[in-house]
Structure 1
Amino acid sequence: MKYKLACFFFMIVILSACKNDNQKRLAENEKQAKKNELIFSNINKGWVFYDTPINSTSEATVASWNELRIFFAELVVKPKKTIGAFQKKSKALSKKVMALNENIPSQFNKPQIKSRVSTLITKVRLLDLFLNLDKIPDQKVIVLVSEINAELVSLQRQMDKIVEKSKIPVEEGESELMKMMDTSRAIPNTPTDPNLPRVE
């Protein structure tokens, strides 16, 4: 009889503990849902990209540089409703920005453009990383969006500079001077054998 009574009290204690755990879990879930709504609201407000070309050079380049056009088209569509939509969008942006490095038009295949594209890739991939963390740092995401915008502007301005420089006519003899200054045409500096006689 004592055994049955002890089991009965034990079961009551376990059931009340489970009930308390359920209440705690529901309270934590509600708190997390409110936090997620706040994070979503902050990211939604800060998710504003410069998705159109800023100058005529950029417009012409977007027409010929297919990967850049696709990246801009991906920036135009803003995710809605959930954090998951922002996570999917960041993954898509990350894939599209990686393609920029593969087919840079020959006119812009220069170190200045490559470095800006690399920086843009880094920022977009960092955005993807931040949005896929368990605890999303919404303020860092907003800062990254503005940094990505700055990199897009920098890339487009550099393209404009390259186009403007190409319009400047070459003066007589300048091409020969440029060839002479080209270090790839210089005589290679081969190491000398210390055992060979030297003229001093």
Structure 2
Amino acid sequence: MINKIMVFFSLIFILFSCQDDSQKRIAENKKEIKKKEVIFKNIEKGWVFYDTPITEASEKSIATWNELRMFLAELAQKPKKTIGAFQQKSKALSKKAMALNDNVPYNFSKPQIKSRISTVITKVRMLDLFIHLDNIPDKKVTQLVAEINLELVSLQRQMDKIVEKSKIPVEEGESDLLKMMDASRAIPNTPVPNTPIDPNLPRVE
């Protein structure tokens, strides 16, 4: 009889323990869902890119620089509904950003432009990395969006500077001076071998 009572109470204890564990899991799941909703809303709110050219140079260049045009077009399409959509978008942005190094117009194929492109690529790839983490740092993601915008502004302003500089007429004699300053065109300062020395030339003692 005592054994039956012990078994009965054991079953009751197990039943209540299971119910308690189940309630804890439900509470944790609700908490996790709420956390993901907050992260999604923060990312959705902060996902605002400068997707249109801000300078005359960048506006004209998208007609010939296909990769820049496609990158800006990708930025213009904002994801909706799920965090998965934002993850897919960041992956697509990363691919489009990497392509910016291809077919750079000749007048923009300069170190100051290429360095800014590299910075944009780095920031976009970091965005793609952070948004794919299990525990997404939403503040870091929105911060990277803002940083990408700043780098895009910097890139386009540099493009504008190059265009403006190319419009300045070269002064008379300036092109010759630039040629003279070009180290690759300089005559090497080395003595010619087997050349006899004129004894009549003045010498410094």
TM-score in terms of structure 1 length: 0.85
Per-residue deviation, 1:102: 2.1
Aligned to 2:199: none
- 1:155-179 deviations in whole A, cap 9, x for unaligned? 0000000011111112222222222
SS at match of 2:153: helix
What does residue range 51-200 of structure 1 map to in structure 2 within 5 Å? 51-186=51-186
In the alignment, the residues of structure 2 paired with residue 109 and residue 2 of structure 1 have an alpha-carbon distance, to the nearest angstrom, of 91
- 1:44-65 deviations in whole A, cap 9, x for unaligned? 1111111000122111111110
In the alignment, the residues of structure 2 paired with residue 24 and residue 184 of structure 1 have an alpha-carbon distance, to the nearest angstrom, of 75
What does residue range 12-23 of structure 1 map to in structure 2 within 5 Å? 13-23=13-23
SS at match of 1:78: coil
Give the number of equivalent residue pairs. 190
Q: 1:166 to 1:40 in 2, by over 3 A?
A: same
Q: 1:54 to 1:10 in 2, by over 3 A?
A: same
Aligned to 1:196: none
- 1:72-92 deviations in whole A, cap 9, x for unaligned? 000001011111111111111
For residue 82 of structure 2, what is the amino acid of its counterpart?
T
Check if 1:46 corresponds to 2:46.
Answer: yes
Deviates more, 1:114-123 or 1:171-180: 171-180
Deviates more, 1:2-11 or 1:144-153: 2-11
Aligned to 2:196: none
- 1:99-142 deviations in whole A, cap 9, x for unaligned? 00122111101000001001111111111111111111111211
In the alignment, the residues of structure 1 paired with residue 131 and residue 187 of structure 2 have an alpha-carbon distance, to the nearest angstrom, of 52
In the alignment, the residues of structure 2 paired with residue 19 and residue 92 of structure 1 have an alpha-carbon distance, to the nearest angstrom, of 45
For residue 85 of structure 1, what is the amino acid of its counterpart?
A
Per-residue deviation, 1:186: 4.6
Aligned to 1:31: 31
Deviates more, 1:169-178 or 1:115-124: 169-178
Q: 1:104 to 1:3 in 2, by over 3 A?
A: farther
SS at match of 1:64: coil
Structure 1's unaligned 5+ residue stretches are 191-200
SS at match of 1:122: helix
Per-residue deviation, 1:15: 4.4
In the alignment, the residues of structure 1 paired with residue 5 and residue 89 of structure 2 have an alpha-carbon distance, to the nearest angstrom, of 59
Structure 2's unaligned 5+ residue stretches are 191-205
In the alignment, the residues of structure 1 paired with residue 98 and residue 27 of structure 2 have an alpha-carbon distance, to the nearest angstrom, of 42
SS at match of 2:63: helix
Per-residue deviation, 1:188: 7.4
RMSD value, Cα: 2.3
Q: 1:7 to 1:49 in 2, by over 3 A?
A: same
SS at match of 2:81: coil
Percent identity for Structure 1 against Structure 2: 72
